[in-house]
Chain A
Amino acid sequence: DADVTQTPRNRITKTGKRIMLECSQTKGHDRMYWYRQDPGLGLRLIYYSFDVKDINKGEISDGYSVSRQAQAKFSLSLESAIPNQTALYFCATREGSGRTDTQYFGPGTRLTVL
């Protein structure tokens, strides 16, 4: 079984709809991240969380919100989806602080907003 899972894997929705993307991990990591990937732009950080009570905005948090329901679960919400939020979304976990950190990525959710 995958260590970092994301649901759904694909979603098509309409402008104005509320959407939730879910991420679960079995790695036992405290740190979790949400990124979006756009062609030619690489990955950009939306939100990150160091534990259930510690949530922080990334570089492109406008239009998004998150919820850390438990150490293993980190959800990303689009309150009112718009077409320029069409992208590939990745969840990641990190194995700890210090110099040798590594992020582990889920398989991604492809979101299309019509």
Chain B
Amino acid sequence: AQSVTQLGSHVSVSEGALVLLRCNYSSSVPPYLFWYVQYPNQGLQLLLKYTSAATLVKGINGFEAEFKKSETSFHLTKPSAHMSDAAEYFCAVRQTGANNLFFGTGTRLTVIP
């Protein structure tokens, strides 16, 4: 069965510092991987997605993620945090041929001024 694990339910960084949000998947075959962001009182919106093309994926708002098959990871990074990045971030996986997304439990990012 496919699943996704997000390490750290809460992450705090200083403004201008590196953002690193971790996501590991369990699958015998590399799946399709997604990062979604949820701002307060809003629905989720797609940040970026991996679909077996380039392993380094660039998304909106300066975020990027690298697919590492050997580590079964898809960690999300941003070189310099901005106050507006404060939100909850969800990693999600969809197996090849499957219909649905499976979401991680989310990581809430706090940016400290």
Binding site for B on A (CB under 8 A): 4, 33, 35, 40-45, 48, 50, 56, 58, 90, 92, 99-108
Contacts and interface: CB of A to CB of B under 8 A. Distances in A.
A102 B106 contact: no
A92 B36 CA distance: 13
Contacts of A107: 41-43
B32 A99 contact: yes
A92 B99 CA distance: 13
A103 B51 contact: no
Contact of A105 (B45, B51, B94, B99): B45
Question: From DSSP, what is the main secondary structure of chain A's interface residues?
Answer: strand
A58 B100 contact: yes
Interface in B54-113: 90, 94, 99-101, 103-106
A106 B103 contact: no
A48 B46 contact: no
Given A43-B103, A58-B100, A99 B52 contact: yes
Given A33-B100, A42-B104, A90-B43, 13 more contacts: A40-B105, A41-B105, A45-B100, A58-B100, A90-B44, A100-B49, A101-B32, A102-B49, A103-B44, A104-B45, A105-B45, A106-B43, A108-B41
Interface centre among B32, B52, B100 (most CB of A within 10 A): B100
17 contacts: A40-B105, A41-B105, A42-B106, A48-B99, A48-B100, A58-B100, A90-B44, A99-B51, A99-B52, A102-B46, A102-B49, A103-B44, A103-B46, A103-B101, A105-B36, A107-B43, A108-B41
A43 B43 contact: no
B43 to A, nearest CB: 3
